[in-house]
Amino acid sequence: MTDWGTGRYEHTAAQLAPAAARAVEAADVQPGDRVLDLACGTGNAALLAAMRGAQVTGLDPAERLLDVAAGRARAAGVEVAWAPGVATELPFDDGAFDAVLSVFGVIFAAPAEDAVAELVRVTADGGRIVLTTWTDGGAIAAGSGVLMRAVVAATGASSTAGPAPRSWGDPDYVAGLFAPHGLVPQIERIPHVFEAASPDAFADEWLEQHPMWLAARPLLGDDGYAGLREPLIAALSAGNEDPAAFRVTSEALLIRIDRA
Ligand SMILES: C[S@@+](CC[C@H](N)C(=O)[O-])C[C@H]1O[C@@H](n2cnc3c(N)ncnc32)[C@H](O)[C@@H]1O
């Protein structure tokens, strides 16, 4: 499992903050609600829910990110309980939360079926689950594909060894995960904009700071890793909407599941 505490995931987390706001809004978080931010990273959704007066817990396997999240909570003057752990084995009682949020988080847990069973288990009757996932179109997905193909080629695997989060971008796949629990997701497609000074700057941030990219460097070797820069910049540039800088629009799914 990738250690998302490697590098500086903080940069990407800042770019994902608008999606956390959409998720908290979609969950209609109310004062006093018991809320879990699952795979909280640096705590984007947890902090927003706590600012609404909810009793929030943030869980993530990356302890360095939990430390960053705790620092952010202190700076914002909100209380959040931080817990190390993984989505497939949640250290919480059945029905412990009124709302469970996961912003581009649970999509990395494997097996996905086990993570979904845990999501459902810890959500109280009458509670809701709100998730965001990426679809597989656009320049960001194309850029990620450069990494995935290189890892597959280097390892000889028919697919990446880790989970394939982009299958979560297929509404039928998501519906199939929740169907065994008798639950039907409501799914909305939402745009998400990424910006940087240039395609090169965005690529270099990924190559030098992003934990998923850094995790591939030992597999590919320094030369193989450096060789990703050119195709990555080409993939990002192909979708660039701002010739003077870098701006691309990705598509995400905003998913709400109500537990009867
Ligand atoms: C793309 S980041 C999203 C973080 C945060 N939700 C945000 O919006 O910035 C993915 C997060 O999933 C976490 N993660 C990866 N595998 C996990 C697992 N099996 N169980 C729980 N969290 C996991 C990582 O540590 C990382 O913080």
Q: From the alpha carbon of 110, which atom of ligand 1 is closest?
A: 19
Structure tokens, 144: 């990620």
What's the pLDDT at 161? 43
Residue closest by Cα to atom 1 of ligand 1:
104
Top-confidence residue, 210 or 163: 210
- Which residue in 14, 18, 50, 19 sits closest to 254, CA to CA? 19
**Is the pLDDT at 228 greater than 70, yes or no?**
yes
Checking DSSP bridges between strand 246-258 and strand 123-134, what pairing results, if any? antiparallel
Q: For residue 165, what pLDDT is reported?
A: 63
More confident residue, 136 or 199: 199
Q: Could you tell which of 38, 108, 130 is best to mutate to test the pocket of ligand 1, judged by most ligand atoms within 8 Å of the CB?
A: 108
Q: How far is the CA of 244 from the centre of ligand 1 (A)?
A: 32
120-159 pLDDT, tens digit each? 999 999 999 999 999 988 999 999 999 999 998 998 775 5
Q: Greater confidence, 163 or 131?
A: 131
Q: Ligand 1: distance of its center to the CA of 42 in Å?
A: 9
* Ligand 1 centroid distance, CA of 204 (Å): 22
The per-residue pLDDT for 26 is: 98
The terminus-to-terminus CA distance of the chain in angstroms comes to: 33
Taking CA atoms only, the protein residue closest to ligand 1 atom 26 is 41
How far apart are alpha carbons 107 and 169 in whole angstroms? 9
pLDDT at res. 164: 56
Distance (angstroms) between ligand 1 centre and the Cα of 104 equals: 7
State how far the Cα of 19 lies from the Cα of 25, in Å rounded to an integer.
Answer: 10
What span, in angstroms and rounded, lies between the C-alpha atoms of 38 and 28? 17
Average pLDDT over residues 240-251: 97
Q: Whose Cα sits closest to atom 17 in ligand 1?
A: 109
9-53 pLDDT, tens digit each: 999 999 999 999 999 999 999 999 999 999 999 999 999 999 999
- Which pLDDT value is given to residue 158? 58
pLDDT-derived band at 190, boundaries 50, 70, 90: very high
Measured in Å, residue 41 CA sits from the centre of ligand 1 at 5
CATH, range 10-136+161-194+249-258: 3.40.50.150
The pTM of this model reads: 0.96
Ligand 1: nearest atom to the Cα of 65: 27
Three-state SS annotation for the chain: CCCCCCCCCHHHHHHHHHHHHHHHHHCCCCCCCEEEEECCCCCHHHHHHHHCCCEEEEEECCHHHHHHHHHHHHHHCCCEEEEECECCECCCCCCCEEEEEEECCHHHCCCHHHHHHHHHHHEEEEEEEEEEEECCCCHHHHHHHHHHHHHHHHHCCCCCCCCCHHHHHCHHHHHHHHHHHCCCCEEEEEEEEEEECCHHHHHHHHHHHCHHHHHHHHHHHHHHHHCCHHHHHHHHHHCCCCCCCEEEEEEEEEEEEECC
> Left if phi > 0, otherwise alpha if psi is -120 to 50, otherwise beta: which for 3?
beta
The answer, yes or no, to whether residue 216 has pLDDT greater than 90, is yes
Domain parsing of the chain, residue ranges: 10-136+161-194+249-258
The protein residue with its alpha carbon nearest to ligand 1, atom 15, reads: 108
Q: Is the pLDDT of residue 186 over 50?
A: yes
For 87-117, write each residue's pLDDT tens digit. Answer: 999 999 999 999 999 999 999 999 999 999 9
Relative to the CA of 12, which ligand 1 atom is closest? 9
How confident is the model at residue 27, as a pLDDT? 98
Query: For 163-174, what is the mean pLDDT?
Result: 83
Q: Residues with beta carbon inside 6 Å of ligand 1? A: 1, 4, 13, 16, 20, 39-42, 44, 60-62, 65, 86-87, 103-105, 108-109
Mean pLDDT over the full length of the chain: 95
Question: What ligand 1 atom has the least distance to the C-alpha of 39?
Answer: 22
The pLDDT assigned to 18 comes to 98
